[in-house]
């Protein structure tokens, strides 16, 4: 694969004050939510070249959201800004008093992408959701997404994906994990290797993280497994297979559906604490059945074993041998 194919251009857009630079700094620059208070407004476009999984470079274009800059993006700079874009991440401030103008800017971006990057993937983040009353969040999200999906489909982007986010909880990691993972070409290989490792170690689950950001790459448990089981049972009468799949479905259903982003958040905070103390870690063992260990220079695995009595040296040896496959 050529080096140009490993460079992915991501546009981060949205009105001034929507929280774009804060989320970028938390995910990619190890800022805490409190640290973002010292960030100033983005002037024009800030470029970040971020190495991800060793051979992939994310070219993140953080586009300042002041009106004067926005107008420039859509006129004088449009061929420069919107050409060769793999992903648009558009951030909406849920407390905005100018929703119609916010959506208008979004549709203007889609119009340029249709011309210059028609294959781009579109993600929207409805940000600062912590400021919305808890029982109103789902309703607000659904209303806004319906409007945005209509606009997106009109410009030839029917597969819009949206997330409610906040810098004060783990929702940011869920959104950015899915965004970045949409760009990883060999995801199925990583997941296949994790499933084999899970089976050999008799684990409940193994989760693979990117080392610097702690964004989730994939899990040994297929996140769509319940849907696949339903499809499978309508086309086969093999009782043994059905029984095995049902057991696996029950096992997965007991796990917290937000576990990935929660672990990302916890491990990122742990990493920040280690950095402040000028130390690091290669392997962490918790309660004799949870292992957090480096698998490569850019991957970390989070392993949850069924049996806490497994000899630690044997587990560590299995992890060491697994490194050859990642």
Mean pLDDT of the chain: 86
End-to-end alpha-carbon separation of the chain, Å?
18
Spatial separation of the C-alpha atoms in residues 284 and 303, rounded to whole Å:
10
Count Cβ atoms within 10 A of the Cβ of residue 97 and give its class: 0-12 exposed, 13-18 middle, 19 or more buried: exposed
Q: Report pLDDT for 13.
A: 95
Q: Which two tokens stand for residue 218?
A: 């994939």
Read off the pLDDT band of 1 (50, 70, 90): very low
pLDDT at 60 (0 to 100): 94
User: What are the pLDDT digits (tens) for 136-177?
Assistant: 999 999 999 999 999 999 999 999 999 999 999 989 999 999
Query: What whole-number distance in Å separates Cα of residue 177 and Cα of residue 27?
Result: 10
pLDDT of residue 132: 94
Q: Is the pTM of this model over 0.85?
A: no
Supply the pLDDT for residue 110.
97
- Domains and their CATH numbers in the chain: 7-182 (3.40.50.300), 187-227+257-323 (3.30.450.190)
Residue pLDDT, tens place only, 72-118: 999 999 999 999 999 999 999 999 999 999 999 999 999 999 999 99
pLDDT at 242 over 80: no
Q: Are strands 203-210 and 87-93 parallel, antiparallel or unpaired?
A: unpaired
Q: What is the pLDDT of residues 175-198, one digit of tens each?
A: 999 999 999 887 888 889 999 999
Rounded distance, CA 96 to CA 119, Å? 29
pLDDT per residue as tens digits for the range 12-55: 999 988 989 899 988 988 788 888 877 777 777 898 888 887 77
């Amino acid at each position: 694969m050529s080096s140009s194919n490993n460079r992915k251009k991501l546009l981060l857009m949205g009105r001034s004050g929507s929280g774009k630079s804060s989320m970028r700094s938390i995910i990619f620059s190890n800022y805490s939510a409190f640290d973002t208070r010292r960030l100033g407004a983005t002037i024009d476009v800030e470029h970040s070249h971020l190495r991800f999984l060793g051979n992939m470079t994310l070219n993140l274009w953080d586009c300042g959201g002041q009106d004067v800059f926005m107008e420039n993006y859509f006129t004088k700079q449009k061929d420069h800004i919107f050409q060769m874009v793999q992903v648009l991440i558009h951030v909406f401030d849920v407390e905005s008093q100018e929703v119609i103008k916010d959506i208008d800017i979004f549709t203007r971006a889609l119009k340029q992408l249709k011309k210059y990057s028609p294959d781009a993937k579109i993600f929207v983040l409805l940000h600062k959701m912590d400021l919305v009353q808890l029982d109103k969040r789902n309703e607000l999200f659904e209303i806004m997404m319906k409007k945005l999906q209509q606009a997106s489909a009109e410009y030839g982007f029917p597969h819009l994906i949206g997330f409610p986010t906040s810098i004060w909880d783990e929702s940011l990691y869920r959104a950015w994990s899915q965004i970045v993972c949409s760009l990883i070409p060999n995801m199925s290989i990583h997941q296949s290797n994790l499933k084999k490792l899970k089976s050999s170690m008799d684990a409940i689950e193994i989760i693979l993280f990117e080392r610097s950001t702690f964004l989730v790459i994939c899990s040994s448990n297929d996140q769509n497994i319940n849907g696949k089981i339903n499809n499978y049972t309508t086309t086969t009468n093999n009782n043994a297979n059905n029984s095995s799949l049902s057991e696996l479905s029950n096992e997965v259903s007991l796990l917290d559906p937000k576990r990935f982003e929660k672990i990302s958040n916890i491990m990122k905070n742990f990493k920040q604490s280690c950095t402040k103390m000028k130390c690091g870690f290669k392997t962490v063992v918790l309660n004799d059945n949870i292992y957090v260990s480096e698998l490569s220079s850019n991957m970390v695995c989070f392993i949850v074993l069924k049996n806490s009595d497994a000899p630690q040296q044997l587990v560590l040896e299995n992890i060491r041998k697994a490194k050859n496959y990642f």
